Amino acid sequence: MKRYRDDAEAVRSLVREDCVHRDVYLSPEIFELEMRHLWRNTWIYVGHDSQVPDAGDYYTTELARQPVIMLRDAEGGIRVLMNRCAHKGATLVSAREGHCEGGLLRCPYHGWTYRLDGSIRTIPAKSGYDGTALATSSAAAGIAPVRNVAIHRGFVFARLSEEGPGFHEYFGDALSSIDNMADRSPVGRLEVAGGVLRYLHDSNWKMFVENLNDTMHPMVSHESAAGTSKKLWAGHPEDEPKPMAIEQFLPFVNGYEFFDKMGVRIYDNGHSYTGVRYSIHSAYAAIGDYERIMEASYGEERARRILGEVRHNTVYYPSLTIKGAIQSIRVARPVSHDRTVLESWTFRLVGAPDSLLQRTVLYTRLINAPTSIVGHDDQHNYHAIHEGLATDGNEWVSLHRNHSAAESGGISGDYNGLSEVSMRGQYRAWARFMTLDMPGARS
Amino acid sequence: MSAATPAAVELEQFVYDEARLIDEKRFDEWYDLFADDGRYWMPLTRGQPDGDNHTSLFHEDKLLLKVRIERLKSPRSFSQAQPSWCQHVLQRPTVEDNGATSGRCRVRTPFIYIETQRDAQLVLAGVVTHYLRREGDRLRIELKKVELVNCDAALPSIQLFP
């Protein structure tokens, strides 16, 4: 059944200013259109340049379900290439990461080889193409590149569509959260470290992305995880240093006032962060002589400003969410309308004590792993929404909390933390980038 | 062999009994098998050197095990409103070190683990290595290391204890 394809008006009708139609989560057709439009017209996270330190190093992933290769070319630049042999179409590399021997990509099927810029180097028994039109065919161009690639502080993003918003136009000041994460290294540099958790969710990718700045859920969803930790720690003196795990669990059951006052900042195009004033990471104990190292590197005032910016979650709509304060990120890799792989990556702050890496490794295991008791309750609720929305009687999902008519003029700005404004901002972007290249799109 | 050195049959039986306590959800008794400094570790990669500088699936000390066990008793554990159940199927354990000189026994056991909830059934497989020591008249777990054969796969929720 085709209800939405090439029909910008029908797609836009799913999003009202303060609610969305259930089809945005439930419809396989909408999911296909998201992959074809929203996830091609926007800037998607690919990887971090520290994953491919040397010329010829590669890392493979998917963008909007298309396999791609991120590699370091011979000149030291980062390229993103479609993982497809120009000849018969096989993926060129299937390992998650590796190194191109001899500076060449070689197709495992018929042995065509390519330079690191994607151009064809050799074709076996090439005389078989004499007198054919190969040279003027699409195969002759070599591996198709992803032309629109941008790197910010090592974070590599790509836009699959030829036309669309520029990188800085798209993210704007939301990039300040990435800056803050990188600035927390005394030398301003991050390195991927500590491995990647991959958690398979039986739910739509937007359930996760919307949840990141949903501050009404922690004290409810995570009562059993964080509340139990609180109960087990009760009775210890206030000034007794808490084990890091307890320190990380406890703020999840802070009250509504805590989350409301932390605030949320909304940017155009679906981006936002909670924790404008403070966050669940603000009360963590100082680590070793890290602050002193930062002061030595940046000067006292700037070091204090960097470390005083303790944001909660920043959403780089639609694919990436980050926690700059603890150097972890999560990446949504949509599989189908009700299936998503969520990757959790951690970073080392180059030049900082190892205990900072240990802190983020602990946090990501406690909160983001398939074995996480926090993750279990989140995942349960995401899936429960799929089941609940299948019911007749109410086809709309409410996003009314703290909605104001003033938002229709423009949504960027600061709001109270408990507001559902981050989701309203995401759907505003959703409707725009879903229909940007559809017939009948508004300019 | 000194009197304190466990016989192979005692070590094997310990491994069988330990898995059974989990499968029967006798988690408080299971918790008591761990030494005070005991750990339950499931690495995220093959040959992972440690659980501090690299993320793991589990790397629980007794405090974190306690949090998990107490949470499972909470009526607000929403993901367990319909409880999960599990079954370990163990190969015969191999005693790799009976502790006669080291004081630390090492027992290796390949396993299949099934966890089910509602109509879903998750099957995991791997090798579990128990590092055990004698404390008084009982064996206690210093480290239970569970190495999944697909540790680096995208995994759904694992809610009990493989």
Alpha carbon A88 to chain centroid, angstroms: 32
Cβ–Cβ below 8 Å for A194 and B53: yes
Q: Are A382 and A208 in contact (CB under 8 A)?
A: yes
What does the pLDDT average to over B48-62?
97
Length of chain A: 443
For A50-82, the pLDDT digits (tens) are 999 999 999 999 999 999 999 999 999 999 999
Tell me which chain B residue has its CA closest to the CA of residue A367.
Answer: B57
CA distance A318 to chain B (A): 20
Task: Annotate B80-90 with b (16+ C-beta within 10 A) or e (fewer).
Answer: beeebebebeb
Which pLDDT does position A300 carry in this prediction? 97
Residue A443 has pLDDT above 80, yes or no: no
Is the minimum CB–CB distance between A203 and chain B shorter than 8 Å? no
- Integer Cα distance of A113 and A124 in angstroms: 9
Half-sphere exposure in the Cβ direction for A389 (13 Å, CA): 22
Contact residues, chain B, for A365 at CB < 8 Å: 55-59
Query: Hey, of B68, B69, B70, B79, which one would you mutate to test binding to chain A, going by the most A CBs within 10 A of its CB?
Result: B79
Q: Kindly report which listed range (A148-162, A381-395, B2-16) carries the lowest average pLDDT score.
A: B2-16
**Is the CB of residue A146 less than 8 Å from the CB of residue A160?**
yes
- Mind listing the pLDDT tens digit for each residue in A315-337? 999 999 999 999 999 999 999 99
Average pLDDT over residues A408-424: 97
Residues A182, A189 contacting (CB under 8 angstroms):
yes
Which tokens in the block code for residue A160? 């699959």
Write down the number of H helices and E strands in chain B.
Answer: 3, 7
- Helices A373-389, A205-212: axis angle to 10 degrees equals 120
In this predicted model, what pLDDT tens digit does every residue of A358-372 receive, in sequence order? 999 999 999 999 999
B26-46 residue pLDDT tens: 999 999 999 999 999 999 999
Distance CA B34, CA B142 (A): 6
A290-298 and A300-308 helices, crossing angle to 10°: 120
Q: In the prediction, which pLDDT does B6 show?
A: 85
H, E, C per residue of B136-161: CCEEEEEEEEEEECCCCCCECCCCCC
Look up tokens 């070091």; give the residue. A303
- The confidence score (pLDDT) of residue A1 equals 61
Alpha helices in A194-315 (DSSP H): 205-212, 218-221, 228-233, 244-249, 256-262, 290-298, 300-308
A442 pLDDT higher than 70: no
Enumerate the residues of chain A whose CB falls inside 8 A of the CB of residue B158. 370-371
Closest CA to B130 of B144, B117, B148, B111: B144
Instruction: Read off the pLDDT of residues A250-270 as tens digits, 9 standing for 90 and up.
Output: 999 999 999 999 999 999 999
Tokens of A257: 């006032």
Q: What is the per-residue burial (b if ≥16 Cβ within 10 Å, else e) of A412-432?
A: beebbbbbbbbbbbbbbbbbb
User: Any CB–CB contact under 8 A between A223 and chain B?
Assistant: yes
Q: What is the pLDDT of chain B when averaged over all its residues?
A: 96
- Determine the Cα–Cα distance for residues A250 and A254; give it in Å rounded to an integer: 7
Residue A277 carries which side chain, given as an amino acid letter? Answer: R
Interface of B with A (CB under 8 A): 42, 44-45, 48, 52-59, 63-64, 66-68, 70-71, 74, 76-81, 152-159
Q: Is the pLDDT confidence value at B2 over 80? A: no
CB contacts, 8 Å: A344 with chain B: 55
Is A367 in CB contact (< 8 Å) with chain B? no
C-alpha–C-alpha distance, residues A246 and A226, integer Å: 8
How confident is the prediction for chain A on average, in pLDDT?
A: 96
Contacts of B70 in chain A (CB under 8 A): 228, 231-232
CA distance A31 to A19: 18
Note the pLDDT of residue A106.
97
Band (pLDDT 50/70/90 cuts) for residue B14 is: very high
pLDDT average, residue stretch B82-93: 98
Q: Which of B4, B54, B18 is closest to B161 using CA atoms?
A: B18
Which residues, including other chains, have CB under 8 Å from residue A325's CB and lie 6 or more apart? A180, A181, A184, A275, A279, A281, A309, A310, A311, A312
How high is the pLDDT of residue A233?
94
Dist. CA A94–CA A302, nearest whole Å: 44
Instruction: Provide the pLDDT confidence category of residue A288 given band limits of 50, 70 and 90.
Output: confident
CA dihedral over A353, A229, A251, A239, signed as positive or negative: negative
- Residue A47, SS3? strand
Give the DSSP per-residue string, A399-438.
--TT--GGGGT---EEE-TT-SHHHHHHHHHHHHHHHTTS
Give how far Cα A385 sits from Cα of A120, A207, A391, A426, B131, Å: 49, 9, 10, 18, 43
pLDDT of residue B3: 55
Residue A44 host element (H or E):
strand A44-48
Q: According to the model, what pLDDT value does residue B96 have?
A: 97
CA B84 – CA A98 distance, rounded (Å): 39
Share of chain A above pLDDT 70, in %: 99
